[in-house]
């Protein structure tokens, strides 16, 4: 039973992460290769604030949001004026830098040793100390975040993001400050990625840099692409699918040693098939032309 | 006193040595429809890009009511009152017809991410009001019934009408229209021209790039003929279209 709750937790965390990327990539057309970096910045900031400073979970989450917002702004300001492909490369650069810092600044992050002993999150005095309780906790915190994301996506702001994605020149000709819009979309997307980072830290009670690599960024992109970009629920479906996939392989009695690699092969095949036959994903609106 | 709203002074722009626009000085007045005609490659669309802010000139300036706007980014020029209809239409393909027109409106509180969350009731109310006005423009250009259709599913001519409806929502007072009647079904051209005349009567400054001479003769108050980056002839429509050079080089007569 605990195992099922574990899957629910991971699916929930990844669903929020995928939907955060969707705001930048699916709605605004900004393909980010550094969302694992924002996920990691959220996890590490929340962790360091809880472990070294002694804050509770919610204030730690607030700090994670602020730090991630500031750092994402730092990458956005110089990069968003770059043409599409170059912007993607800039995010790749940022992902590599963040991982490098997490791995090598041992004094701050404990480097490859990771940080253990993350306190059990307290939610208004109640300790979230079981896997089942954490699922509820993720649902509440995640639900609130997704509620805000939903309001944004279904507002004139969301409509403006999609217009900028479809034709920047036309949007500018209508008086919209396109660079400003893209910057806000990117920073918001980064903040929404920091939330599952903090949730992950509070759940695993141990974090290390290997959870926040470029491979992880690509995994998040896969969820968005498979589930469907530019559609609100699509990435969540993609997240659930990709979290359940290894479990399905286990069910088919594939030995663990093979399963790990087979999983990568299956992702690759799925992506190729989708790009060929259904580029907008399962229920998506945008097909990354 | 002519009411000059937008003018270009000695405007020049070259690409890799090709003088797309060379020392162009033109004036456009409020309440008038001016046509810009000339062969393909004459520099007409480039001139529109320079006036609209998509391109910065190499030399010379564009003045909007005496204020220098050349070199400003296009979103600022648009906010100062310049509207554009592009030759390659440029609708927001994945948005519906209604959403396309709604994006056109200025000063939408809901376009701020903060207000979209915190003031959502007021934003929803404003959006409903704007949707009613948008519907009016959609009906006007003849796209009634297509409100929920994704723009990319429309034909070229329908997309052009959509872009016009969006431009009307923007409420700009200087309109740069690049071939507004091209691809539009003939039955729609007459109401479109009538609309342009009404907009001019309202005091708007209308500038058209046109290849359709009957349209030019029908509604233009003034014509500039452009060839190889320069203004070669100007005047009343019948004067320019009667000019020998124009007739030989352009009209093929």
Q: Which ipTM was obtained for this model?
A: 0.91
Measured CA to CA, the distance from residue B105 to residue B97 in angstroms comes to 14
Residue A287 pLDDT level (bands cut at 50, 70, 90): low
Q: What is the pLDDT of residues B200-234, one digit of tens each?
A: 999 999 999 999 999 999 999 999 999 999 999 99
Residues 6 or more apart whose Cβ sits within 8 Å of residue A289? none
Are B91 and A151 a contacting pair at CB < 8 A? no
**C-alpha–C-alpha distance, residues B94 and A163, integer Å:** 8
pTM for this structure?
A: 0.92
Q: How far is A159 from chain B (nearest CA, A)?
A: 7
Region class of A117: left (phi > 0), else alpha (psi between -120 and 50), else beta: left
- What percent of chain A has a predicted confidence (pLDDT) above 90? 67
Q: pLDDT by residue (tens digit) across A224-252?
A: 988 888 788 889 999 998 898 887 777 77
Taking the CA atoms of B90, B92, B96 and B101 in sequence, report the sign of the dihedral they define: negative
Is residue A289's pLDDT more than 60?
A: no
Q: Name the percent of chain A in helix, strand, coil, to the closest 5.
A: 75, 5, 20
Q: What is the mean pLDDT of chain A?
A: 90
pLDDT reported for residue A128: 85
| Mean pLDDT for the stretch of residues A93-97 | 97
User: What confidence category does residue A122 fall into, taking pLDDT thresholds of 50, 70 and 90?
Assistant: confident
Residue listed under structure tokens 């700090």: A63
pLDDT band of residue A288 (cuts 50, 70, 90) is low
The confidence score (pLDDT) of residue B141 equals: 86
Mean pLDDT of all residues belonging to chain B? 93
Write phi, then psi, for B171 (nearest 5 degrees): 70, 30
Which of A26, A148, A156 would you mutate first to test chain B, the one with the most B CBs within 10 A? A156
Residue-wise pLDDT tens digits, A104-116: 999 999 999 999 9
CA-CA distance, A283 to A259, in Å (whole number)?
27
pLDDT at B183 (0 to 100) = 84
Q: Name the band, by pLDDT with cuts 50, 70 and 90, for residue A189.
A: very high
pLDDT at B119 (0 to 100):
93
> Which chain A residue lies closest to B73 (C-alpha atoms)?
A172
**Residue A206 DSSP SS3:** strand
- Span A202-210, mean pLDDT? 95
Residue A285, pLDDT > 80, answer no
Instruction: Using a CB–CB cutoff of 8 Å, tell me whether B87 touches chain A.
Output: no
pLDDT tens-digit series, residues B176-202 = 999 999 888 888 888 889 989 999 999
Residue B135, chain A, CB below 8 Å: the answer is: no
Which residue in B has a C-alpha nearest to residue A147's C-alpha?
Answer: B117
Reduced to 3 states (helix: H, G, I; strand: E, B; else coil), residue A160 is helix
Best of B87, B92, B126, B162 to mutate (most A CBs within 10 Å, chain A):
B92
Instruction: At A206, list the tokens.
Output: 């141990």
- To 10 degrees, the CA torsion angle through A176, A182, A188, A189? 140
- At residue A68, does pLDDT exceed 90? yes
Contact A171 B127 (CB under 8 A): no
pLDDT, position B115: 93
In chain A, the residue whose alpha carbon lies closest to the alpha carbon of B122 is A155
Rounded-to-integer distance, Cα A276 and Cα B207, Å:
45
How far away is chain A from the Cα of B238, in angstroms, using its nearest Cα?
Answer: 33
Quick check: A177 and B75 CB within 8 A?
yes
Among the partner residues B86, B95, B170, nearest to A162 by beta-carbon distance: B95
DSSP label at residue A97: H
Higher pLDDT pick, A36 / A248: A36
Q: Give residue B253's pLDDT.
A: 67
Spatial separation of the C-alpha atoms in residues B177 and B36, rounded to whole Å: 10
Domain ranges of chain B: 1-81+173-253, 91-171
> Residue B76 and residue B181: Cα distance in Å, rounded?
27
- The answer, yes or no, to whether residue A124 has pLDDT greater than 80, is no
Cβ neighbours of B152 (radius 10 Å): 12
- pLDDT of res. A262: 79
Q: What are phi and psi of A254, to 5 degrees?
A: -80, 125
Q: What contacts A47, CB < 8 A, 6 or more positions away?
A: A60, A115, A118, A201, A207
φ/ψ (deg, to 5) at A53: -105, -25
Q: Which residue has better confidence, B20 or A245?
A: B20
Q: Which fold has domain B1-81+173-253?
A: Rossmann fold (3.40.50)
Q: What are phi and psi of B48, to 5 degrees?
A: -65, -40
Choose among B72, B216, B202, B74: nearest CA to A171: B74
Output b/e per residue, A43-59; b: 16+ Cβ within 10 A.
bbbbbbbbbeeebebee
CB contact under 8 A, B95 and A285: no
A170/B91 CB distance under 8 A:
yes
Burial status of residue B4 (CB atoms within 10 A of its CB: 0-12, 13-18, 19 or more) = middle
Contact flag B92-A170 (C-beta cutoff 8 Å): yes
pLDDT for A264: 75
Contacts of B131 (CB under 8 A, 6+ apart): B98, B102
């Amino acid at each position: 039973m605990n195992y099922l709750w574990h899957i629910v937790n991971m699916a929930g965390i990844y669903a929020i992460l995928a939907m955060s990327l969707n705001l930048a990539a699916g709605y605004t057309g900004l393909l980010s290769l550094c969302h694992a970096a924002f996920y990691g910045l959220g996890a590490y900031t929340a962790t360091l604030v809880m472990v070294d400073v002694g804050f509770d979970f919610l204030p730690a989450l607030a700090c994670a949001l602020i730090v991630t917002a500031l750092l994402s702004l730092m990458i956005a300001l110089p990069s968003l004026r770059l043409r599409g492909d170059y912007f993607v490369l800039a995010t790749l650069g940022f992902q590599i830098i963040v991982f490098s810092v997490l791995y090598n600044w041992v004094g701050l992050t404990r480097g490859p040793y990771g940080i253990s002993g993350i306190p059990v999150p307290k939610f208004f005095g109640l300790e979230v100390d079981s896997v089942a309780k954490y699922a509820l906790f993720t649902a509440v915190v995640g639900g609130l975040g997704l509620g805000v994301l939903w309001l944004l996506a279904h507002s004139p702001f969301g409509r403006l993001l999609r217009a900028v994605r479809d034709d920047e020149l036309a949007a500018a000709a209508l008086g919209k400050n396109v660079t400003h819009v893209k910057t806000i979309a990117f920073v918001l997307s980064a903040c929404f990625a920091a939330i599952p980072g903090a949730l992950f830290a509070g759940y695993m009670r141990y974090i290390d840099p290997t959870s926040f690599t470029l491979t992880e960024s690509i995994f998040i992109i896969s969820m968005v692409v498979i589930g469907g970009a530019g559609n609100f629920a699509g990435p969540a479906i993609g997240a659930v699918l990709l979290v359940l996939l290894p479990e399905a392989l286990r069910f088919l009695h594939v030995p663990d040693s093979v399963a790990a690699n087979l999983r990568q092969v299956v992702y690759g095949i799925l992506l190729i098939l989708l790009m060929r036959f259904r580029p907008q994903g399962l229920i998506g609106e945008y097909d990354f032309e | 006193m002519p009411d000059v709203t937008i003018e270009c002074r000695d405007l020049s722009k070259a690409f890799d040595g090709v003088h797309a626009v060379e020392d162009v000085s033109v004036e456009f007045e409020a309440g008038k429809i001016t046509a810009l005609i000339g062969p393909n490659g004459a520099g007409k669309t480039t001139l529109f890009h320079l006036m609209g802010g998509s391109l910065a000139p190499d030399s010379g300036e564009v003045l909007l009511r005496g204020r220098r706007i050349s070199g400003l980014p296009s979103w600022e020029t648009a906010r100062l009152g310049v509207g554009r209809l592009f030759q390659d239409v440029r609708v927001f393909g994945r948005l519906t017809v209604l959403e396309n027109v709604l994006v056109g409106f200025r000063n939408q509180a809901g376009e701020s991410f903060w207000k979209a969350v915190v003031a959502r009731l007021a934003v929803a109310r404003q959006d409903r009001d704007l949707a009613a006005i948008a519907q009016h423009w959609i009906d006007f250009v003849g796209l009634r019934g297509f409100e929920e259709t994704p723009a990319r599913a429309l034909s070229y001519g329908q997309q052009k009408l959509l872009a016009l409806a969006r431009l009307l929502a923007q409420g700009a007072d200087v309109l740069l229209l690049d071939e507004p009647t091209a691809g539009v079904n003939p039955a729609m051209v007459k109401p479109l021209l009538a609309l342009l005349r009404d907009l001019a009567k309202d005091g708007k400054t209308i500038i058209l790039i046109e290849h359709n001479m009957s349209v030019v003769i029908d509604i233009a108050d003034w014509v500039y003929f452009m060839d190889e980056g320069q203004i070669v002839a100007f005047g009343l429509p019948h004067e320019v279209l009667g000019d020998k050079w124009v007739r030989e080089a352009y009209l093929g007569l």
